[in-house]
Amino acid sequence: KAGVTQTPRYLIKTRGQQVTLSCSPISGHRSVSWYQQTPGQGLQFLFEYFSETQRNKGNFPGRFSGRQFSNSRSEMNVSTLELGDSALYLCASSSLITETQYFGPGTRLLVL
């Protein structure tokens, strides 16, 4: 089976812009979670989607949003980018059977 894929792998944006990141889960996995990794805060949970519904949300401002499509692919959007949004954004997928989250390679976002 192919693993979790994320696009793009690298992005450079400027403050105030918005960005959309994409994640394709492992085939058959219906749960997709998003995490932010920064040197200062480590790996922080953003939100999780299952069957096109957001089930869990972390402590991030409303500028961070996401959605999931009927094929389980997910997108994450960050509006009005700030310098502090520079991070590695990771997507993970899981199934009710495996109960383990498998991560994609991440999207490295740099906000200038």
Partner 1 sequence: DQQVKQNSPSLSVQEGRISILNCDYTNSMFDYFLWYKKYPAEGPTFLISISSIKDKNEDGRFTVFLNKSAKHLSLHIVPSQPGDSAVYFCAANLRGFGNEKLTFGTGTRLTIIP
Contact positions vs partner 1 (CB under 8 A): 4, 6, 31, 33, 35, 42-45, 48, 50, 55-56, 58, 88, 90, 92, 94, 96, 99-106, 108
- For 50, residues 6+ apart whose C-beta sits below 8 A from its C-beta are 30, 31, 32, 68
- Altogether, the residues listed in the chain come to a count of 112
Cα–Cα distance, 85 to 79 (Å, whole number): 10
Q: Are 64 and 52 in contact (CB under 8 A)?
A: no
Cα–Cα distance, 78 to 89 (Å, whole number): 11
Closest distance of CB 80 from partner 1, Å: 25
| Nearer to partner 1 among residue 43 and residue 83 (C-beta) | 43
Closest distance of CB 36 from partner 1, Å: 11
Closest distance of CB 17 from partner 1, Å: 22
The 8-class DSSP code of residue 84 comes to: G
| Nearer to partner 1 among residue 76 and residue 92 (C-beta) | 92
Closest distance of CB 47 from partner 1, Å: 9
